[in-house]
Chains A and B, each alone.
Chain A
């Protein structure tokens, strides 16, 4: 027997917004406009261009995200000049033969999306970046992962 039913195909998409952080910035508000076709916001990520040649991981500041609906302040995260999680040995400057202390393209600890779930009806996401003191200018790149309802499709299911 063959059943045919309708299903909605959902597509995953990404928005990119750059936040230039000039020297001396303390507080920077921003706004991300979401497309009208959005269903849910499912993840956020960031990368930055801050100089990290000193080898020490420093906190650049804190990002906060606010929606226009009841979710309100739905996510906040600390921003570091290194976007992957450093190990304790790395922070202490101890060299190790362990793969855990190697570069992120070897360990797999590169930047990734943090899962959030926010209804797309919010329309815009407002937010802020509160710095821990800006000595040199850099740019933060924000990534917003969202789901978009694509199309109504017919699914065929063979039973028995």
Chain B
């Protein structure tokens, strides 16, 4: 049975209405990426103001302006069910590109950190 690990990537959002492109690397022994979850230290910020594009090794999983609220999960959801299933995404060169955007939403901006967690199967 494949071993599961969780890769955690963070992006600090310091200013309102900005774009934050970031590149991260998966482990070299990653076999596939199976699920993703997005959370933050201030969930109301990403729920009301966040959107992102996620790409793994050139394969676009979520397009630009895909709102973060569609990838979030609450604490009343069972821990195992909190991830959004991706199928089995091949890691390719292991490069994860995230373009996070903060936009004017119904909640006033306050600096926050958004956290992306990828569930990975490793060899």
Contact = CB atoms under 8 A, between A and B. Distances in A.
Contacts of B7: none
A52 interface: yes
Interface of A is mostly: mixed
A109 B74 contact: yes
B29 to A, nearest CB: 19
Contact of B66 (A16, A100, A106, A112): A16
A10 B88 CA distance: 10
Contacts of A107: 74, 76
Given A11-B87, A14-B63, A110 B75 contact: no
B113 interface: no
Contacts of B74: 104-110
B70 A105 contact: no
A47 B65 CA distance: 12
Interface of A: 10-16, 45, 47, 49, 51-53, 83, 99-100, 103-113, 141, 143
Interface of B: 43-44, 47, 59-60, 62-63, 65-67, 69-70, 72-77, 82, 86-87, 105-106
Given A105-B69, A107-B74, 9 more contacts: A11-B87, A12-B86, A103-B47, A105-B47, A108-B82, A110-B72, A111-B70, A112-B70, A141-B67
